[in-house]
């Protein structure tokens, strides 16, 4: 399967799961044939302010190729800045638009983005 210029061996991808799909879990899934692994969702704000714990979530195992990092946030400039700064660490950058957790949606992030198509357009355009 091809996503942009990234080719995967198959179309069986490991879904990102916060608190579950850490680097060890993902590496094992890769060994068992996952075509693509994705980091847990990573806060764009945390990365922007250089929070060490947040950065740790992007740690990648040697066998994780191709690898996607999923970020969440809603500030388009911040998202674009972060996407640029992590572009070397990931083959793909995924933007979370599905998380329903109260602590995420209260900041207009995650699934809340789906209520604002114009903002989604702005984020994807600036981060592209």
Ligand X SMILES: Cc1cc2nc3c(=O)[nH]c(=O)nc-3n(C[C@H](O)[C@H](O)[C@H](O)COP(=O)(O)O)c2cc1C
- Residue 39: name the closest of 8, 84, 70, 79 by CA: 70
Residue window 98-127: x/- pattern of binding to ligand X, with contact defined by CB under 6 A: xx----------------------------
Q: Could you tell me the strand order of the sheet in which 67-72 lies?
A: 37-43, 67-72, 92-95
Structure tokens at 10: 């198959």
- Alpha-carbon distance of 128 to 103, in angstroms, equals 27
State which residue, 1 or 20, has the beta carbon closest to ligand X: 20
| Candidate segments 10-18, 54-62, 74-82, 83-91, binder of ligand X by CB under 6 A | 10-18
List beta partners, residue 37: 67
Stretch that binds ligand X, among 12-20, 46-54, 61-69, 78-86 (CB under 6 A): 12-20
Query: Is residue 29 flagged as an active site residue?
Result: no
Q: Does 35 bind ligand X (CB under 6 A)?
A: no
**Interface with ligand X includes 16 (CB under 6 A)?**
yes
Residues annotated as catalytic are 99
């Amino acid at each position: 399967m091809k996503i942009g210029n990234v080719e995967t061996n198959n179309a069986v991808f490991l879904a990102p799961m916060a608190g579950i799909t850490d680097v060890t879990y993902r590496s094992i899934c890769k060994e068992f044939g996952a075509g693509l692994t994705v980091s847990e969702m990573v806060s764009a704000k945390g990365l922007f302010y250089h929070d060490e714990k947040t950065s740790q979530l992007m740690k990648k195992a040697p066998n994780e190729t191709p690898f996607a990092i999923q970020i969440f946030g809603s500030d388009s400039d911040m998202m674009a800045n972060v996407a640029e700064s992590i572009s070397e660490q990931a083959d793909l950058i995924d933007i979370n638009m599905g998380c329903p957790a109260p602590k995420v949606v209260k900041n207009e992030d995650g699934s809340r983005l789906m209520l604002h198509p114009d903002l989604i357009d702005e984020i994807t355009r600036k981060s592209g």
